[in-house]
A and B are shown apart, each in its own frame.
Chain A
Amino acid sequence: MSSTVLRVHSLDVTVPGSDGKVNLLDGIDMSLYRGEILGLMGQSGSGKTLTAMALLGMVAPPARVAAGHYQINGTAVPINSAPAMRGIRGRDIFTVFQSPSSALNPTLQIDLQLSEILMHHHGMKRGEARNRCRDLLSRVGLSDPVMDAYPFELSGGMQQRVLIAMALAIRPRVLIADEPTTGLDAITQARILDLFGRLREEIAESILFISHDLRVLLHLTDRIAVIHAGRIVETQPADQLTAQATHPVTRKIIAAFQELEYIGGRHSC
C-alpha cells in the first residue's frame, strides 16, 4: 500500500496574454504522504492558491490547466476533465478557505450546509445526517444550537470550526487548508491551529497547509514546500528549514520572520 496520497508533477497553468500564453504555474512538482501535513509557503502572488485550485479542478477561466500528471492514492486523475475532477471533489480532496465568513451560504442554516455533504456523498437520509452533524459539531467544540443557526450568528472562529467539521464529515485523502487562520485574531488563530493539530488524523489522510506565515507552518507542519513565481523552489522538513534552506527566496523569507520574531533563538542553527 503506497504511502503517497497525492502526486502531481509538471503542472502548468497558463493564461492567454498579449504575446501568447503566460505561465502562472510552471512545472509544479509535489508529493503528499499519508499522515503528514505539508506546508506550502510563498509570498502573495506566488501561486499558492492557484496550485490549490488546480488540484481541486477549480481553476477559473481565462486561466486553464495546460499540462500536468496527477495521481491520488496511486490512481491517475485526468486533470483536465471536469467530470473527473468533480468526482474527486468532496470525496478524495476537499478544501477549507481563508475568510470563513464568506465561505458559508448566508441564507442557509449550518445544519443543512453540513448535512448536504453527508446526504450527497454518503447517501444518508435527512434525519441520519442531522444526527451525524451533531456529532461532528461537538468534535470541533460547537454545541447544539449552532445547527439551526445561520452563519452570521456565529463568530469567525466558530465559522472556521464549521468548515473543519465539514472536513471531518468527508475525511478526504487530501485536505487543502488555504490560509485558514489569516484574518482571525491571535487567540482564535491559536485555537484553530490547536484543533488542526489534535484532529489531524480524523480530518484527512494528509493535509496541504497553505500559508505565508512561517511561524504557523513551523509550528504545525512536517515538511514545507516553498513556492515562488509559479514554481516549487525548495522542499525541506520543517524542523530543518531554517538550518538547511538553500534557495535565496526561502532565505529571504526566513530572514524577514527572524527580524520579527524569536525564531533564531528557538531553533538553533
Chain B
Amino acid sequence: MKSLIQRRLLMLIPTLVGISLLGFILLELMPGDATTLLMRRSAGEVTPEAIDNLRRELGLDRPWPVRYLRWVGRAVRLDFGTSFSSGEPVRREIFSRLPATLALALGAFTFMLTVTLPLGVLSALRKNQWPDHLIRVGAIVFHSVPAYWLGLLLLWVFALKLGLFRVVGQGAWQDLILPIVTLGSGMAAFYSRMTRERVIDVLEQDYIRLVYAKGLSRRILIFRHVLKNALLPLVTLWGMSFGYLLGGSVIVESVFSWPGVGKLVVDAILNRDHPVIQAYVVLMALIFISVNLIVDLVYPLLDPRLRPRRSAEAMEG
C-alpha cells in the first residue's frame, strides 16, 4: 500500500513539471511584459530608463531558466503576481472566489449522484420496458442540450417569470440551485446511461443468480450485492468528471453571474489579464490532479481485490 502511494507520487513529478512550465509559458507569452505593467500602474513618465529599471527589478533581463525558477519559487508560495485589471494580488482574487466555484462543483456532483443512481438502477431493472426507454431518451436529450441554453431557459422560467430565484447570483445558497441543476444535468444524462450499463452487466453475473437461488428479497439483492459491484468501476470516472465540472462551471457561472473563479477567468481573458489566467490554469490543474490522486488512492480501499491478499494455504483447515 505504501509503495503504491510512493509510486503514484513519483509519477506526479513530470506532470507537475509540465504544468509549471505551462504556467510559466503563459506568462512569458504575454505580448509586452513589464511595459504593460508600468503603463497601467504608474502615473508618472514612462521613460526608457524606467522600463529598464523595472525589468531588472523583476528579473526579466535574466536568461529564461532563471526566470522559470523564480516563477516556481513564487508559485509555490501561491504568489502569482498582480491582476492587471483590478490591481489586486491575484492570489486574493482567486482564493476569494474559489469556494464559490467549489461549492458549485460539489453541488452539481451531488445532484448528479442523487439523480443518476436511482435512475440508472431503475433503468437496468426494467430493461427494455417503458421506464427504461423513457429514461434513455431523456438521457440523450439532456446530454444534447447546451448547458448555457438550459441555464438561460431555467433562469427565464424560474427567475423572471415565476420569481422564485434571483436573476443575478449573490452567493447565497438559494442562488446555487439553478446553477447546480444546469451544470449537473449534462453529467447526469451521461452517467445514468453508464450506471444502467454497469448494473445490467452485474445482473448478468453468476453470483447474482446465486443470490436469486437463495431466495433473498430484491432489496437485499440490490443494496448488498449489485450496487457495490456495479458502481466500483465508475469511481475513477467520477474523479475525471470533476475536471468536466471545473471547466463547465465557467459557462454556468457566466450565465447565472455566480461569483466564482470561472467568471473571473472569462473576464480575465477578455481583458488580457494574464496573471489571473495563468494562476487559474495552474490552480485548476492542481485541484484536478489532487482529486484524481485521492480517487486513485481510495479505490483500492473500496475494492477488496486490489488489496494485498493472503495465501490460499493459510486458509486451509
Contacts and interface: CB of A to CB of B under 8 A. Distances in A.
> Do chains A and B directly touch (beta carbons under 8 Å) in the complex?
yes
Interface of A: 56, 58, 86-91, 94-95, 97, 99, 102-109, 112, 116-117, 120-121, 138, 141-143, 145-146, 149-150, 152-155, 158, 163, 166, 170
Interface in B234-265: none
29 contacts: A56-B213, A58-B213, A87-B215, A89-B213, A95-B213, A102-B207, A103-B209, A105-B225, A108-B228, A112-B224, A116-B214, A116-B220, A116-B224, A120-B214, A120-B215, A120-B216, A120-B220, A141-B317, A143-B317, A146-B315, A150-B309, A152-B309, A153-B309, A153-B310, A153-B312, A153-B315, A154-B315, A158-B312, A170-B214
A223 to B, nearest CB: 24
A106 B206 CA distance: 11
Contact of B207 (A105, A112, A155): A105
A89 B317 contact: no
B305 interface: yes
A189 B229 CA distance: 30
Contacts of B209: 58, 97, 103
B29 interface: no
A107 B312 contact: no
Interface in B194-208: 205-207
Contact of A108 (B216, B224, B314): B224
Given A58-B209, A95-B210, A143-B317, 6 more contacts: A87-B215, A97-B210, A107-B304, A150-B304, A154-B315, A158-B315
Contact of B229 (A105, A138, A150, A166): A105
A155 B314 CA distance: 11
Contact of A107 (B211, B215, B305): B305
B215 A121 contact: yes
A22 B238 CA distance: 45
A143 B316 contact: yes
Contacts of A89: 212-215
Indicate the member of B210, B232, B312 with the most A CB atoms within 10 Å: B210
Given A141-B317, A158-B315, A86 B305 contact: no
B33 interface: no
Contacts of B206: 97, 99, 102-103
B167 to A, nearest CB: 48
